Amino acid sequence: MAQHIVRDRSQVIPFPEANDLQLRISRSFALLNDFHAAVSGRSALGDVLAVLSRQTDALNIAMYRLSGGRAHPIAGATHALLTSKPEVSSGKLASYLRDTRLDALVPGSIWRLSRLRKETSFARSSAAAEWSKRPEVNEVSLVILHANTEQIDAIEMIFDQPPKLHPQLHPSLVTTALAEAWALRVKGLAGRIIRSNGRSQAMPERYLGGDILTAANPCGLSRAELRVCELLAIGTKAKDIAATLELSVPTIRTHLRNIYAKTSTSGQLELITVINDSRQASE
């Protein structure tokens, strides 16, 4: 598959008479095209986030997966005028939202720090404590790409001034499209990026590129979890795995949830992809 080159079209005028709304629509379409290419594995997500940062004047953008009690970085970008590396999010804002309103975290929804600060419960949260130490931050917008009981994929945007919005182009139109594209990403993309970043707790850097089911056990899987992975990788269904290991189906499901958290995967298909990829890398 041919690689896609991300080009910043923020200042490109689609036609001479284009007004501000038309310019915003044009660059939003271009951004979505680039994001589609990135989630298909044809370009770098960081390059797309850099364009998004310039289009929105965000100081910092962090894309991450909240799983297993921590935030695993996927990609990041800073404003073009900054020379520092992108900040890595702690995930505390997403953790607060997960703990207080998981069912409301629909893909594409935008959650703003300024509004959350008005909630009584937020004042007692670790997220409030974190952001109260950042007086230079005017706003933080958290865009939900995916959310369930096991993990949250999100884009966190930091602003030093109020985001510049257009009354006729609600940002949720763009963020919903981003979330829909994320749902169509190539299987295993997020997990592979997290491991390649070398920051995932589930995959220590010294084991990157090796088979996750070897005796080295880089993900810290239990013996039962390793056996479940081995059977799953050859196409065995959960019911048959339970019969083979003489365990109940609920126990197998518990093992799977633990495996997903330790390997930073979202389900059986992504887990199998990660197992196969790690085996190929070790050959």
Least confident of 51-65, 87-101, 187-201, 256-270: 187-201
Characterize 114-148 residue by residue with b for buried, 16 or more Cβ atoms within 10 angstroms of its Cβ, and e for exposed: eebeeeeebeebebbeebeeeeeeebbbbbbbbbe
pLDDT surpasses 70 at 201: no
CA distances from 178 to 109, 165, 166 (A): 11, 17, 18
Give the percent of the chain with pLDDT over 70: 91
What pLDDT score does 208 carry? 45
pLDDT surpasses 50 at 267: yes
pLDDT surpasses 90 at 216: no
What is the band of 85 on the pLDDT scale with cuts at 50, 70, 90? Answer: confident
Q: What is the mean pLDDT of the chain?
A: 87
pLDDT surpasses 70 at 199: no
Instruction: Give the span between the Cα atoms of 63 and 61, in whole angstroms.
Output: 7
pLDDT surpasses 80 at 277: no
Give the percent of the chain with pLDDT over 90: 58
| Domain spanning 20-186: CATH superfamily | GAF domain (3.30.450.40)
What pLDDT score does 122 carry? 97
CA 146 to chain centre: 8
What pLDDT score does 282 carry? 53
What pLDDT score does 103 carry? 97
pLDDT surpasses 80 at 198: no
pLDDT surpasses 70 at 209: no
pTM of the model: 0.69
Task: Tell which CATH architecture fits domain 198-282.
Answer: Orthogonal Bundle (1.10)
pLDDT surpasses 60 at 50: yes
* Helix (H), strand (E) counts: the chain: 11, 5
What is the band of 204 on the pLDDT scale with cuts at 50, 70, 90? Answer: very low
What is the band of 102 on the pLDDT scale with cuts at 50, 70, 90? Answer: very high
What pLDDT score does 210 carry? 56
Q: Where are the domains of the chain?
A: 20-186, 198-282
What is the band of 83 on the pLDDT scale with cuts at 50, 70, 90? Answer: low
Instruction: Give the span between the Cα atoms of 200 and 228, in whole angstroms.
Output: 22
Quick one: average pLDDT of 160-184?
94
What is the band of 170 on the pLDDT scale with cuts at 50, 70, 90? Answer: very high
C-alpha atoms less than 13 angstroms from C-alpha of 126 in its C-beta half-sphere: 8
Tens-place pLDDT, residues 125-148: 999 999 999 999 999 999 999 999
Q: What is the DSSP string of 205-268?
A: GGGTTS-TTSTT-TT---HHHHHHHHHHHTT--HHHHHHHHT--HHHHHHHHHHHHHHHT-SSH
What pLDDT score does 84 carry? 75
